[in-house]
Homo-oligomer: A and B are copies of this chain.
Amino acid sequence: MFAIVEQPISIQQLCEQVGSPAAGAIATFLGTTRQSNRGRRVLKLEYEAYPEMAVSEFEKIAALARTRWDLTAVAIVHRVGVVPLGQASVAIAVSAPHRREAIEACHFCIDSLKEVAPIWKKEHFEGGEVWIGSLADCDHGDDDSAGRAHHHPHDHAGGHAADAPVDPAQPRSRR
């Protein structure tokens, strides 16, 4: 029900996991890799996790959701490694007797996960790469920030973007 995986996520399987004759509703959320972010053309995303703690945080999020809504089951899965464009990096499925509970709890779970899960995202874009939200990432981006993001000129000639210097001497993630 709560996992860090290296393979593509099956939403069908997740729905089967939370499905139950006691549930009248299943709400799911999939976070997928977008082709552009703050005007940058994204090539791929790469995720890294602290897996043991991430799973423990997923469990805590689900337990908290259960105190607020009448739920049947909760499943939370995050993928690590390279996630190609259009594919899911995170999936949440919440089943409940009634639809409002399932949908609100699903929304709560993804918002909480984004806040607390020890998972890091490196964006590989045309002209560079950057750890999203980190020191070198100028305006602490997240999936909801594009609307108010600034556009930065970046180095299309190759190498790394001016606003996201990465020392090529340092090893890249192997996850």
A91 to chain B, nearest CB (A): 9
Q: Using Cβ atoms and an 8 Å threshold, which residues of chain B touch A106?
A: 27, 103
A30 touches B21 (CB 8 A): no
How far is it, in angstroms, between the C-alpha of A25 and the C-alpha of B91 when the chains are bound? 10
B31 touches A86 (CB 8 A): no
- Selected interface stretch from A54-62, A124-132, A141-149, A166-174: A141-149
- Selected interface stretch from A9-17, A74-82, A155-163: A9-17
How far is it, in angstroms, between the C-alpha of A22 and the C-alpha of B35 when the chains are bound? 6
Known: A27-B29, A29-B99. A34 touches B11 (CB 8 A): no
Q: Taking beta carbons and an 8 Å cutoff, which residues of A are in contact with B?
A: 10-12, 15, 19-36, 85-86, 88, 95, 97-100, 102-103, 106-107, 110, 143-144, 146-147
Q: With A21-B33, A24-B31 given, can you name 10 additional A-B contacts, CB distance below 8 Å?
A: A22-B35, A23-B86, A24-B32, A25-B31, A26-B88, A27-B106, A31-B99, A98-B144, A98-B147, A99-B110
